[in-house]
């Protein structure tokens, strides 16, 4: 009797397995007959290679989507499938709901394999190694876990205000100093006091080298033909090997040097609260041993600066440009701050709930000039279907965040800087009015783990500058206002406002004195 049951069970398993295989094969066969998503017709062999935009590609992708009346665009770039998602609905359906197969990263030979950026969480392919790094970053940078790091942000912001008193015309330089000071303190608990500081310099050099190479990725044939990475440096035309070798040294310095100093401070019992000290403490206590390992902590710490430095500077710059061009918005934000803050005080994180208009200004800056219009591309690990279209396995999948944040159906008059759009019935409403966070921090399992701290840094910087300074259009020799230009560097993964005309000065001598006094309380 038992043998009969076993035979029946085995037969059931075999029939079920055969049936499942048949269904899967039939599904794949039917799917393979589906058309590819619409897109411009390419040439033999090279496909759409010659059609690819070299600058502001998000605008061209969006124009193609409108031309072909689709929210999912297909491009064949020299045999490589590329899919552009142009709407929130498409991004949510694929990158969020189907994140298991849409969370990979395309291969990046020049930056990752040759320049040594394989430590970077954002560039790692999806898998067990990525999951461990991601879990550490997620747990340490969560709002509740990262609250002890906030004093670092406050101190760097106060120092920024003082820099504006000393050199009001060095807008980007001052912001870069603030961000470096913030990120190095938050990540390692180390202090950056001057721009010739060791940690400031190696962070700028390492991140800068990667940024230059990434922004010119199409220039390097090794990205299209990875086998070229084995070509010796002395071979004519292999100058990319020298660039990669020099960049790898800078990347190693950026990861190793501040970590060694932070680890030494931790061992001596002198560490400031930071990403590294918090992680090392948990490793010492034996918490979650698969995550809290020294190599993972060191790699994750090195990735934090790379992720946060350029984005914060870009957002604050864009916000200040918008305020120069829209003085009425600046005055309204200043009035709100003056009403909420006591005389002689500067904004703190505790004031945020009482400053809805300032919060709306910050959110509009995130929407108006999205720092990473296309973010970092995803890679599809298995063939998929969407709206009757076939998406081939291995496709590079790009979410056009710029198109989503400038969708006139969601944001009327999307190219106008208008914080009022986030108010409903006189109250701040980031739910029904669509919080820009839905598209500016990435999607699915690859969403930025440092987004909460990144937003907080931007909010405090913007609120503090508005509270203490007037930033206005300059005037020519005849007293006429000079309209600042809205020009951006747009060739890389991130955008940055080019220098624009402005005048910045303390709102009063009292405000200037408040800034000076604040330094003694933030040291």
Distance of alpha carbon 450 from alpha carbon 486, whole angstroms: 28
Distance of alpha carbon 481 from alpha carbon 400, whole angstroms: 36
Distance of alpha carbon 163 from alpha carbon 153, whole angstroms: 15
Distance of alpha carbon 179 from alpha carbon 502, whole angstroms: 21
Phi and psi at residue 457, in whole multiples of 5°? Answer: -65, -45
Asked if 430 and 352 count as a contact pair (C-beta separation under 8 A), the reply is: no
Distance of alpha carbon 436 from alpha carbon 219, whole angstroms: 33
Distance of alpha carbon 512 from alpha carbon 290, whole angstroms: 50
Asked if 186 and 304 count as a contact pair (C-beta separation under 8 A), the reply is: yes
Asked if 289 and 430 count as a contact pair (C-beta separation under 8 A), the reply is: no
Distance of alpha carbon 194 from alpha carbon 196, whole angstroms: 5
SS3 sequence, 261-302?
Answer: HHHHHHHCCCCCCCHHHHHHHHHHHCCCCCCCCHHHHHHHHH
Residue 448 annotated in ligand binding: yes
Asked if 58 and 403 count as a contact pair (C-beta separation under 8 A), the reply is: yes
Sign of torsion, CA 439 444 445 449? Answer: positive
Two tokens, residue 146: 């990262």
The 8-class DSSP code of residue 228 comes to G
Return the CA Rg of the chain. 26
Distance of alpha carbon 177 from alpha carbon 22, whole angstroms: 61
Distance of alpha carbon 307 from alpha carbon 63, whole angstroms: 29
* C-alpha count within 13 angstroms, C-beta hemisphere, residue 412: 4
- Residues that constitute the known binding site for heme: 448
- Residues that constitute the known binding site: 448
């Amino acid at each position: 009797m038992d043998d009969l049951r076993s035979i029946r069970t085995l037969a059931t398993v075999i029939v079920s397995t055969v049936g499942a295989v048949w269904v899967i094969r039939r599904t794949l066969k039917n799917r393979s007959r589906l058309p590819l998503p619409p897109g411009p017709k390419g040439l033999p062999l090279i496909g759409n290679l010659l059609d690819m935009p070299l600058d502001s590609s998000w605008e061209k992708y969006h124009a193609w989507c409108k031309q072909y009346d689709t929210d999912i665009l297909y491009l064949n770039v020299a045999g490589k499938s590329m899919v552009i998602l142009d709407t929130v609905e498409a991004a949510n359906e694929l990158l969020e709901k189907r994140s298991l197969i849409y969370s990979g990263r395309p291969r990046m030979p020049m930056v990752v394999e040759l320049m040594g950026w394989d430590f970077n969480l954002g560039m790692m392919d999806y898998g067990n190694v990525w999951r461990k790094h991601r879990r550490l970053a997620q747990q340490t940078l969560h709002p509740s876990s990262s609250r002890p790091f906030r004093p670092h942000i406050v101190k760097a912001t106060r120092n920024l205000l003082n820099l504006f008193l000393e050199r009001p015309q060095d807008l980007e330089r001052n912001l870069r100093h603030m961000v470096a000071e913030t990120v190095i303190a938050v990540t390692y608990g180390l202090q950056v006091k001057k721009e010739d500081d060791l940690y400031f310099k190696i962070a700028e050099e390492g991140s800068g080298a990667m940024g230059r190479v990434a922004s010119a990725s199409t220039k390097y044939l090794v990205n299209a033909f990875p086998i070229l990475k084995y070509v010796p440096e002395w071979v004519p035309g292999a100058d990319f090997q020298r660039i990669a070798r020099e960049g790898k040294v800078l990347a190693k310095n950026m990861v190793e040097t501040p970590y060694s100093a932070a680890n030494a401070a931790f061992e001596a019992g002198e560490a400031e609260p930071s990403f590294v000290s918090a992680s090392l403490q948990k490793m010492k206590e034996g918490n979650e041993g698969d995550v809290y390992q020294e190599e993972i902590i060191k790699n994750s710490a090195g990735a934090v600066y790379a992720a946060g430095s350029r984005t914060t500077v870009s957002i604050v710059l864009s916000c200040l440009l918008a305020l120069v061009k829209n003085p009425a918005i600046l005055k309204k934000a200043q009035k709100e701050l003056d009403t909420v803050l006591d005389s002689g005080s500067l904004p703190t994180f505790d004031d945020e709930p009482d400053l809805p208009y300032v919060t709306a200004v910050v959110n509009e800056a995130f929407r108006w000039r999205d720092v990473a219009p296309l973010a970092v591309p995803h890679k599809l690990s298995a063939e998929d279907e969407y709206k009757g279209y076939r998406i081939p396995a291995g496709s590079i999948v790009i979410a056009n965040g710029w198109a989503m944040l400038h969708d006139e159906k969601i944001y009327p008059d999307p190219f106008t800087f208008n914080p009022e759009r986030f108010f409903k019935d006189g109250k701040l409403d980031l739910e029904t009015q669509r919080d820009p966070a839905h598209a500016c921090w990435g999607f699915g399992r690859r969403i930025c783990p440092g987004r909460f701290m990144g937003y907080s840094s931007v909010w405090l910087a913007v609120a503090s500058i508005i509270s203490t300074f007037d930033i206005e259009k300059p005037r020519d020799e005849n007293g006429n206002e000079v309209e600042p230009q809205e020009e951006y560097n747009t060739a890389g993964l991130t955008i940055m406002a080019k220098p624009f005309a402005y005048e910045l000065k303390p709102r009063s001598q009292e405000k200037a004195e408040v800034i000076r006094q604040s330094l003694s309380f933030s040291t």
